[in-house]
Amino acid sequence: MLRALVAGLVLVAGLALPMVAPQPAHAVPPGTYAYVANFNDDTVSVIDTATNTVAVTVPVGDAPWGVAVSPNGTRAYVTNRADATVSVINTATDTVVATVPVGLEPLGVAVSPDGTRAYVTNFSADTVSVINTNTNTVVATIPVGDAPIGVAVSPNGTRAYVTNADADTVSVINTATNTVVATIPVGGFPFGVAVSPDSTRAYVTNSDDDTVSVINTATNTVVATVPVGDVPQGVAVSRDGTRVYAINADADTVSVINTATNTVVATVPVGDAPREVAVSPDGTRAYVTNANADTVSVINTATNTVVATVPVGDLPFGVAIGAVPRPAPALTLIKLTAGWTFTRGGQGTYTLTVTNTGDLPTDGSTVTLTDTLPAGLTPVSFSGTGWTCTLTPLSCTRSDILAIGASYPPLTLTVQIAPDVPKQVTNTATVTGGGATGTGIATATTTVDRKHQPKPPHHDRPDHGKPDHGKPWHGKPGHDRPDQGHRPGPR
């Protein structure tokens, strides 16, 4: 059974793994690439899908497991199971540009459709870490079910789906609030999850049951159960939504499911102990990692046949595919509240910093930063060295070239706070221009305190003299969840 096998993989993760010599930046031309996590090598193989050859091998963290590529193709996110981190790869240079600490034993990873968040399942912590991809920091930690493995974000961006292997459930996360809004019973030891392009269906592989559960995302109920091969793990949906590819780890096959009828219409033999699958952006190929063969099988989705086998690193697990764009500047904006809180009727200050996190310097064209204040805040001043700013509209501009990795001098925005402003205010700012593709967006949510009032003398307080006045408060003791000891991995 999968549970017995999984415990063995933890021993592998705890061993001293081969050391990988650091590699210089290796720029790749624009194109489509498959990123494969090699668990025993601490590397990611980057496959050029035009030639089905490995273009470069990128050293990452300890025991890499899952991979996801940002929608714009500029970053790849790799979970490192043994050191509880996520490696962030710049796909233009194929170098690690950030390492993000997350929870214990991170496995699955998925990026939101707008590219602003990455969701990471922490298997031994029973949580999901939410990473802000602009700052590469964890901004939320969400409790989910027991032993989470797979995660997928709906294409409409409103929900994230997490498989809880030891709970036989799927947690549904509202991505706006970072809270679990539903828990769906599925089959035994759910492993992988994928969502249809129209966000109406989620597909879950049940490794202990040899089935795929089909979830109606509007009702959060299982509407079909599809028998597949032995120990299904990875799963992906075709770009047009007509097919689902389920990896059968112990059968060395891929089941192809017709989503209109929820039946298996083809079974494709692949390599030894397949684990995960990803579909190319044009939908013509599916890439399958074969853990025990140290290869990737490339399936022609029109004929359901393997048309290439690509050697990669030792024990390949996760795979993701992205279109790497031409190098360009990318402007990232960070907005903070000075002092962290505001006071009603007073003044408050924001600081805003623009950084070039792209692959080229800005091109000398105008960079424009615009700020949108919420109701109850009015601008008093807006300035920064080298910036030209106006209060109406509330914006600042400059056109000097910003080098890769450099930041412009910070801006200071002072605001007047109305006496009736809400307890929390959220301020949004954007930055564009300089030859950068896309828009840098930053928000700051600030707590607003009431204006301080003098406290009454002790004996004049309304609660003085009550029977329990002055008694200490005693909190309730908590309890710890017993560790079940289950670990996912190849058989």
pLDDT for 193 equals: 98
pLDDT for 175 equals: 97
Task: Match 């493995």 to its residue by tokens.
Answer: 149
Encoding tokens for residue 377?
A: 């805040």
As a whole-number percent, the residues of the chain with pLDDT over 90 amount to: 76
27 pLDDT exceeds 90?
Answer: no
Q: Give the burial string for 320-355 (b: 16+ CB within 10 Å, else e).
A: bbbbbeebbbbbbbbbebeeeebebeeebebebbbb
pLDDT for 467 equals: 40
23 pLDDT exceeds 50?
Answer: no
Can you give the pTM of this predicted structure?
0.73
180 pLDDT exceeds 80?
Answer: yes
pLDDT for 464 equals: 40
Q: Using pLDDT thresholds of 50, 70 and 90, give the confidence band for residue 486.
A: very low
135-144 tens-digit pLDDT:
999 999 999 9
428-442 tens-digit pLDDT:
999 999 999 888 998
22 pLDDT exceeds 50?
Answer: no
In 391-481, DSSP assigns E strands to 395-398, 411-417, 424-433, 440-449
HSE-up of 270 (CA within 13 Å, CB side)? 39
pLDDT for 459 equals: 41
Mean pLDDT of 371-389: 96
17 pLDDT exceeds 90?
Answer: no
487 pLDDT exceeds 80?
Answer: no
pLDDT for 451 equals: 62
Residue 93 to residue 111: CA distance in whole angstroms: 20
pLDDT for 338 equals: 78
**Residue 81 phi, psi (nearest 5):** -60, -45
pLDDT for 11 equals: 32
Q: Cis peptide before 22, with omega less than 30 degrees from 0? A: no
**Which one is predicted more confidently, 163 or 338?**
163
How long a stretch of residues is the chain? 491
456 pLDDT exceeds 50?
Answer: no
Mean pLDDT of 403-409: 94
Mean pLDDT of 182-203: 98
Q: Using pLDDT thresholds of 50, 70 and 90, give the confidence band for residue 112.
A: very high
In contact, 448 and 425? CB cutoff 8 Å:
yes
Question: Which stretch of 264-273, 363-372, 445-454 has the lowest confidence by average pLDDT?
Answer: 445-454
Q: What is the dihedral of CA 80, 104, 97, 333, to 10 degrees?
A: 140
**CB count in 10 Å sphere of residue 48:** 18
Question: Which stretch of 143-147, 264-268, 333-337 has the lowest confidence by average pLDDT?
Answer: 333-337
Question: Which stretch of 19-28, 393-402, 432-441, 460-469 has the lowest confidence by average pLDDT?
Answer: 460-469
Mean pLDDT of 72-79: 95
**Angle at alpha carbon of residue 112, lines to 106 and 114, rounded to 5°:** 150
pLDDT for 26 equals: 63
| Mean pLDDT for the chain overall | 88
Residue 258 to residue 431: CA distance in whole angstroms: 44
In contact, 347 and 337? CB cutoff 8 Å:
no
For the chain, the C-alpha Rg in angstroms (whole number) is: 25
pLDDT for 437 equals: 80
